[in-house]
Amino acid sequence: MAHSSFAQGTGAQIQYDTSYDILSPVRAKHGMVSSEQVLASQVGLDVLKRGGNAVDAAVAVGFALAVVLPHAGNIGGGGFMLIHDAKSGKDIALDFRELAPALAHRDMFLDANGKIIPGSSTSTHLAVGVPGTVAGLDLALRKYGTLPLKDLIAPSIKLAEQGFEVTPYLAQLLEASRNQLGKWPSSRAIFFNGDRPLRAGEKLVQKDLANSLRLIAQHGPKVFYEGIIAQKIVAEMKNHGGMISADDMKHYKAIEREAVKGNYRGYQVVSMPPPSSGGVHIIQMLNMLEHFPIGQQGLNSAQTIHTMTEVMKLAYADRAEYLGDPEFVKVPLLGLTSKKYADELVKKIDLSRATPSAQIKPGKPLPYESDQTTHYSVADKFGNVVATTYTLNLLFGSGIVATGTGITLNNEMDDFSVKAGVPNAFGLIGGEANAVAAKKRPLSSMTPTMVLKDGKPFLVTGSPGGSRIITTTLQIILNVIDHQLNAAEATIAPRIHHQWEPDITRLERGFNVDTLELLKQKGHKFSVGRSMGRTQTIKIGEEGFEAFADPRNPDGRALGY
């Protein structure tokens, strides 16, 4: 009798439990936007609903994040955008990375004795590179968008003018940046209430920023690079010993580059070329991982983590040696991304033992961005997708608002190697290829990435997180393709990172103790640290779109219709 009731129970289960999903992504039929701030995602979604394409929405989101994600969203910084244009089938990489001013030189952050002046490359006016975001968003819109710039900036003007409520997460970041922002009257005026940073529930109103956005909406990027905004940025520099001149502003150009491409298990992977190091090494690591049955080994099993770690070490050793601004350094792109090179590299991997980093060829790890970058992904009903990663570098960049503009300025000059052999803000040592030089773009880890299946978009993703951007983005791709996870499950899986030096595997919380014991036996050293990355992932299939904003930032949201 008991036996038959059990059978009925299982029957009922089969009837009702139809899903394998542990966590469900956001699903939609016509379009999707995923960003680190729900208000910005809403701005992008509204553009898609009005009939705008993915590029229109991406431009609107870029300006909105400059208002509602002030620590990383920006018009005073720079970044990269990857576009898949459905009509032509083309994949386009836009580089609007900041540029070193014409007066910049190799020893600009050193004193008379050749020692680094503390903080000079992070929190002074010398730290600021020529901003690229406005030029980049404008180039994307002119070539690939359909709506007028003024319509796309309008919602951001309103958000800046009327203000929005500071979230607990933003309040935490403001408090963490109290000293940096508090130094400058122009920054205090916006982000402080009296003698303290704004708190959760208080309103962040940015009248000067609204005015700057209004000027860009009316006059286009010219007002930013040659008009009144440029004049105010240059005046800010002159008053505080910065280097950016009117000429530097006027001659800034965003560049359209050839995307880097690879293949992984029948999918096409499209990513950002140098001066990003990300795309090259994502493809290099996937080429190596194709040699191993990652799917069969299982998600975050000891064997999978071992394989991934060994592959990461090899790629990051190469990154240290070869990567820089392609206008200044010959980057062996074809070699690094070739399958034959990967075939040679995997011979160095011992499947039973961790190879100490010291035995992997020496080089000098280059500086990289901090976590205070942001990524957003957009897909539309026409088959276009956009992946954008942009940054101010550190939290709130230099912390300096250009007086009278409301624009927070980047501290991207710290992404150069400030002095050969001396660690930068992130403890990494600088190499020759990335030395400071006039009009040079600093190396970056930002890795907006798309995966295509038979030439059609299948996955669009990216993340902030400094040197961890590359490995975070890699793991999203593996989680979807090899482990067959949906966009949400792929996002919440615990992450690992190894960057060759220091020789430690960094882990998020949530790995099985038995797994870690097996890794120890293979000779791995690891540290469990803060969460890594905040991905924005959209997966595209026959049924439409599924997306998920990384819960590692509670303010993010994927929205679709």
What is the C-alpha separation between 19 and 13, in angstroms, rounded? Answer: 11
Amino acid code (one letter) for 204:
L
Write b or e for each residue in 365-395: b if 16 or more Cβ atoms lie within 10 A of its Cβ, otherwise e. Answer: bbbbbbbbbbbbbbbbbbbbbbbbbbbbbbb
The catalytic position among 304, 337, 373, 388 is: 373
> Residue 130: beta bridge partners?
99
Alpha helices in 482-512 (DSSP H): 487-492
Active site residue 373: yes
Helix or strand run (H / E) with residue 541:
strand 536-541
User: H helices of 37-182, where?
Assistant: 38-49, 54-68, 133-144, 149-162, 168-176, 178-182
The residues facing 386 across adjacent strands are 83, 378
What is the C-alpha to C-alpha distance for residues 460 and 379, in angstroms, rounded to an integer? Answer: 8
What is the β-pairing status of strands 536-541 and 456-461? antiparallel
β-strand partners of 33? 378, 559
Helix (H) / strand (E) containing 304: helix 302-322
Query: Distance between CA atoms of 302 and 519, rounded to whole angstroms?
Result: 6
Report the alpha-carbon distance of residue 7 to residue 1 in Å, rounded.
Answer: 10
Cα angle 115, 419, 359; round to 5: 120
Q: Which residues are catalytic?
A: 373
